[in-house]
């Protein structure tokens, strides 16, 4: 059997904000169809990692390859067309647009209009709560519903790799469970997922592999179940 090439490969990635080294040279990879968790505490560099992958900030060093091609000089909108989608921290929905308009914005890199309306229906099937609220202004939705809009909008770009920045943030347990159910469902459909979470337990239970990021460096990585059981993760992130 031929070894499977990673969909995403990151080597020695560095990002600085002025004099602050937010990422000090990180390595990670994601295989096609894999669900990978990136966990770490506040300020560890999780959002910075996702922004760098999405092309939203300048990397001072390192290499990123997506589907075998270098990503470094690819502008962010072309990364979306290539299948890399980010659901940003804080969701970043358009509050004054309706649910339907938000989802349509997610398809801005596509030109297959007929397929777009079929995909909208697919999103409403995945998130029935959004179907009932398709004409509602997104800014008036609950936090959990807004998170659904953010995920559905990203899915409208037909991503091969979906990157989620703390989807559980600020949500009640019931809503978190719903969002995670959807993440598993999207993963089961074959979309690769990079899941950033402060909720280490939830993330590692959903993921196949995981990375622990501390002060801009990867300090642990491995099978999600092994990380979940490791003393270091238990002590630092699970309050054991």
Ligand X SMILES: Nc1ncnc2c1ncn2[C@@H]1O[C@H](COP(=O)(O)OP(=O)(O)OP(=O)(O)O)[C@@H](O)[C@H]1O
* Interface with Mg ion (CB under 5 A): 46-47, 89
Query: CA 3, CA 134: separation in Å to the nearest integer?
Result: 44
Tokens 């390859």 map to which residue? 65
Say whether residue 53 binds ligand X (CB under 6 A): no
Question: Out of Mg ion, ligand X, none, which partner does residue 214 contact, by CB within 5 to 8 A per kind?
Answer: none
**Binding residues among 64-123 for ligand X as defined by CB under 6 A:** 89
**Closest separation in Å from C-beta 104 to Mg ion:** 27
Say whether residue 19 binds ligand X (CB under 6 A): no
Q: Of 45-53, 116-124, 150-158, 170-178, which segment contacts ligand X by CB under 6 A?
A: 45-53
Residue 230 phi/psi, 5-degree rounding, is -75, 145
**Closest separation in Å from C-beta 26 to ligand X:** 11
**Closest separation in Å from C-beta 137 to Mg ion:** 26
Instruction: Return the H-helix or E-strand segment holding 63.
Output: strand 61-66
Question: Quick one: tokens of 130?
Answer: 């959004």
Contact 140, 76 (CB under 8 A): no
Q: Which is nearer to ligand X, 85 or 107 (CB)?
A: 85
Question: Out of Mg ion, ligand X, none, which partner does residue 221 contact, by CB within 5 to 8 A per kind?
Answer: none
Say whether residue 43 binds ligand X (CB under 6 A): yes
The sign of the dihedral angle between the CA atoms of 192, 162, 56, 203 is negative
The sign of the dihedral angle between the CA atoms of 16, 20, 40, 88 is negative
Question: Quick one: tokens of 210?
Answer: 């995981």
**Closest separation in Å from C-beta 102 to Mg ion:** 22
Say whether residue 198 binds ligand X (CB under 6 A): yes
Say whether residue 16 binds ligand X (CB under 6 A): no
- From the CA atom positions of the chain, what is the Rg in Å? 17
CA-nearest of 145, 66, 143 to 103 is 145
Say whether residue 170 binds ligand X (CB under 6 A): no
* Contact residues for ligand X, defined by CB under 6 A: 17, 20, 22, 40, 42-48, 89, 198
């Amino acid at each position: 059997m031929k070894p499977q090439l990673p969909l995403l490969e990151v080597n020695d990635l560095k990002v600085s904000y002025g004099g602050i080294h937010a990422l000090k040279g990180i390595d990670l990879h994601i295989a096609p169809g894999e669900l990978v968790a990136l966990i770490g505490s506040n300020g560890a560099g999780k959002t910075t990692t996702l922004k760098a992958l999405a092309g939203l900030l300048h990397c001072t060093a390192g290499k990123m390859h997506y589907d075998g091609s270098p990503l470094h000089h690819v502008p962010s909108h072309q990364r979306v067309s290539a299948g890399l989608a980010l659901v940003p921290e804080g969701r970043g929905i358009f509050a004054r647009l309706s649910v339907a308009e938000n989802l349509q914005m997610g398809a801005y890199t596509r030109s297959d209009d007929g397929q777009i309306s079929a995909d909208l229906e697919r999103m409403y099937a995945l998130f029935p709560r959004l179907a009932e609220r398709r004409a509602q202004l997104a800014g008036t939705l609950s936090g959990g519903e807004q998170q659904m809009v953010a995920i559905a909008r990203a899915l409208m770009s037909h991503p091969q790799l979906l990157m989620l920045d703390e989807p559980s943030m600020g949500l009640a347990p019931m809503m978190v469970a719903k969002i995670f159910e959807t993440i598993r469902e999207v993963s089961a459909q074959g979309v690769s997922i990079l899941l950033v979470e402060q909720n280490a337990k939830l993330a590692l239970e959903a993921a196949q592999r995981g990375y622990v990021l501390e002060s801009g460096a990867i300090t642990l990585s491995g099978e999600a179940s092994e990380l979940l059981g490791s003393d270091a993760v238990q002590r630092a992130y699970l309050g054991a």
